[in-house]
Chains A and B, each alone.
Chain A
Amino acid sequence: DSGVTQTPKHLITATGQRVTLRCSPRSGDLSVYWYQQSLDQGLQFLIQYYNGEERAKGNILERFSAQQFPDLHSELNLSSLELGDSALYFCASSSQSNTGELFFGEGSRLTVL
């Protein structure tokens, strides 16, 4: 158990809909990262937050947004969903040790029909 909690584990929805994925980092970790894992693209970095502020942005679509709340949990919002958005979405957190080591949740599997 990494200590990172993601909900929901599975989500099935239709094209055009909007979903929210939630992540609670390990106790004491200030950084939260979102990654998308698909068969053809591998693990793609989407966005990072540090103590409530956006720190880095990767290949995140404009239809996607995220935020980190004062209690440090984070939410990834996916809107106007397309079939191609079906993927595993991972949240990870890191400590303040500056080593870059990430601790991953078990992921949220999104299926868009």
Chain B
Amino acid sequence: AQSVTQPDIHITVSEGASLELRCNYSYGATPYLFWYVQSPGQGLQLLLKYFSGDTLVQGIKGFEAEFKRSQSSFNLRKPSVHWSDAAEYFCAVGAPNSGNTPLVFGKGTRLSVIA
């Protein structure tokens, strides 16, 4: 069964600084990988996804993530953080060709942005 670890519970960055949120997964093969964002009082919105091919994927709001098979990682990055990026970020893993079995989510990383 797949699992996801997000090692950082809470991260604080200054506005304009770069950001990297860590995600490690456990799965026997190459999984489908996702990053979702949850703003306060909102549902989860998909930021980006990796299915296959180019290991660097671009998402919405200026985010990108890189799939590294050797490290079982799918870290999320943004070169310059905006105050509106303050939210909870979830990494998720899915099993390819499995008939849409449920995604497994990490426990999330809460991002705070300071001036």
Please give the residue numbers on chain A whose beta carbons come within 8 Å of chain B beta carbons, in ascending order. 2, 4, 31, 33, 35, 42-43, 45, 48, 50, 55-56, 58, 90, 92, 94, 96, 98-107
Please give the residue numbers on chain B whose beta carbons come within 8 Å of chain A beta carbons, in ascending order. 32, 34, 36, 41-46, 49, 51, 90, 92, 94-108
Which of B43, B98, B106, B108 lies in contact with A105, CB distance below 8 A? B43
* Chain B residue contacts of A106, Cβ below 8 A: 41-43
Main secondary structure of the interface of A (DSSP, over half): strand
A45 to B90, CA, bound (A): 14
Are A102 and B43 within 8 A (Cβ)? no
What is the chain A residue whose CB lies nearest that of B106? Answer: A42
20 contacts between A and B (CB under 8 A): A33-B102, A42-B107, A42-B108, A45-B102, A45-B103, A48-B101, A55-B99, A56-B101, A58-B102, A98-B99, A99-B94, A100-B100, A100-B101, A101-B34, A101-B46, A101-B49, A102-B44, A104-B43, A104-B45, A106-B43
* Chain B residue contacts of A92, Cβ below 8 A: 44
Are A100 and B103 within 8 A (Cβ)? yes
Complex A-B, nearest 7 residue pairs according to Cβ-Cβ distance, in ascending order: A100-B94, A42-B107, A43-B105, A104-B43, A106-B43, A104-B44, A45-B102
Which of A42, A48, A100, A107 lies in contact with B43, CB distance below 8 A? A107
Nearest Cβ on chain A to B44's Cβ, whole angstroms: 4
Between B36, B95, B100, the greatest number of chain A beta carbons within 10 A of the residue's beta carbon is seen for B100
* Chain B residue contacts of A35, Cβ below 8 A: 105
